[in-house]
């Protein structure tokens, strides 16, 4: 007899770990009928023997890979954010109790789930995360070099472009107070920044090439303020967009809609929630800020809308409002095959 053979459960909950996986099975009435613990090399064999059923797990590193493996075995997989599982933990906390709470959470009819991503989405997301990390590393190097120079009475202008001009000039100036040791150190920092610049350019070219090949990305780039970076990041984050019932849900998921704290029939709206994907939200806000500055408002119907907003609120609020509108337009393009942004003249609109 096979030890820990799978039973006929209506739903399994899996608490994922690096090496140990805790599995709890519930029957159709919600009663626990199986508890088991597996190592990484045996948990897949357990689910391969199990009859196809519903399997739930928390969103965490490794959940996407495990979900794709289970889907290949014929199981229906639901990934739920960890904060939505916590209310179902009854007492104390350990891995088995967490695994028992997960199937209760995933069977709720109003629960929200994380979409199972494809390998291509994971690859694009990894490129974006690598580029973001490289840009942060470059910023840290530049700030460190500025601080070193200030210790010798040398102030530098702001901006990465001016930094590339100023630092070589400072290193070549023998009349300043830089010591020889610091001069050598700053030269090495400049070489490191050049290497990081090369890496950033390489990753950026890869992302742009992906955007050129992907039909949905090309259609997303017809929206003002959305370029290759934002288009591919959106597709990597939301996939086909079918997990959102309407466009506003995508904007809310990105944290671009107001937080609400209402009670007693009195509606109270606060600032934007800043929930969800911070990176995609940042790209959309930057794109919206670029539109507000550079868009020819006489050639697009959004121009009149922006003018009306700017007449009654701060430009930062206008920027976020435009970013939310861009997110809603992006959802419409993602879920509707062949759809593009219809750039109409204000007089025609």
Write out pLDDT tens, residues 257-277: 888 788 888 888 788 888 888
pLDDT band for position 347 (50/70/90)?
low
The percent of residues above 70 in pLDDT, for the chain, comes to: 98
Q: Is residue 230 within 8 Å of residue 283, measured between CB atoms?
A: yes
Query: Residues 77-90: what's their mean pLDDT?
Result: 91
pTM of the model: 0.85
* CB-based burial label for 136 (10 Å; 0-12, 13-18, 19+): exposed
- Counting Cα atoms < 13 Å in the Cβ hemisphere of 33 gives 15
Q: Is residue 348 within 8 Å of residue 271, measured between CB atoms?
A: no
Neighbours of 245 (CB within 10 A): 8
- Please, what is the average pLDDT of the chain? 90
Query: Residues 236-255: what's their mean pLDDT?
Result: 90
Write out pLDDT tens, residues 317-326: 999 999 999 9
Neighbours of 179 (CB within 10 A): 9
Between CA 300 and CA 77 the distance in angstroms is 44
pLDDT for position 266:
84
Write out pLDDT tens, residues 186-235: 999 999 999 999 999 999 999 999 999 999 999 999 999 999 999 999 99
Write out pLDDT tens, residues 5-58: 888 889 999 999 889 999 999 998 989 999 999 998 899 999 999 999 999 999
pLDDT for position 299:
81
Name the strand (E) or helix (H) holding 204.
helix 180-213
**Residue 1 scores a pLDDT above 60:** no
**Residue 110 scores a pLDDT above 60:** yes
pLDDT for position 150:
93
Q: Is residue 260 within 8 Å of residue 199, measured between CB atoms?
A: no
pLDDT for position 302:
87
pLDDT for position 234:
95
**Residue 138 scores a pLDDT above 90:** yes
Query: Residues 71-79: what's their mean pLDDT?
Result: 94
């Amino acid at each position: 007899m096979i030890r820990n053979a799978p039973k006929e459960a209506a739903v399994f909950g899996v608490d994922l770990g690096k090496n140990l996986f805790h599995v709890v099975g519930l029957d159709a009435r919600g009663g626990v009928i199986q508890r088991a613990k597996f190592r990484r090399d045996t948990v897949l064999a357990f689910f391969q023997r199990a009859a196809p059923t519903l399997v739930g797990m928390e969103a965490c590193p490794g959940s996407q890979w495990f979900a794709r493996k289970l889907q290949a075995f014929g199981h229906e997989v639901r990934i739920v954010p960890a904060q939505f599982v916590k209310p179902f933990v009854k007492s104390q906390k350990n891995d088995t109790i967490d695994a028992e709470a997960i199937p209760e959470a995933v069977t709720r009819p109003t629960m929200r789930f994380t979409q199972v991503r494809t390998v291509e989405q994971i690859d694009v997301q990894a490129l974006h995360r690598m580029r973001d990390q490289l840009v942060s590393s470059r910023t840290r190097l530049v700030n460190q070099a500025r601080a070193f120079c200030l210790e010798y009475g040398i102030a530098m202008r702001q901006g990465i472009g001016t930094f590339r001009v100023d630092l070589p000039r400072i290193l070549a100036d023998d009349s300043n107070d830089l010591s020889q040791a610091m001069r050598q150190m700053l030269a090495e920092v400049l070489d490191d920044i050049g290497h990081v610049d090369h890496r950033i350019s390489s990753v950026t070219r890869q992302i742009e090439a992906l955007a050129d090949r992907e039909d949905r990305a090309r259609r997303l780039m017809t929206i003002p303020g959305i370029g290759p970076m934002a288009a591919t990041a959106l597709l990597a984050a939301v996939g086909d967009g079918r997990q959102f019932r309407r466009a506003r849900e995508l904007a809310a998921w990105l944290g671009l809609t107001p937080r609400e704290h209402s009670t007693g029939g009195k509606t109270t709206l606060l600032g934007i929630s800043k929930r969800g994907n911070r990176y995609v939200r940042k790209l959309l806000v930057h794109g919206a800020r670029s539109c507000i500055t550079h868009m020819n408002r006489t050639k697009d119907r959004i121009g009149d809308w922006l003018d009306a907003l700017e007449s009654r609120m701060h430009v930062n609020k206008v920027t976020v409002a435009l970013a939310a509108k861009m997110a809603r337009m992006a959802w419409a393009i993602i879920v509707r095959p062949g759809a593009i942004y219809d750039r109409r003249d204000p007089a025609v609109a």
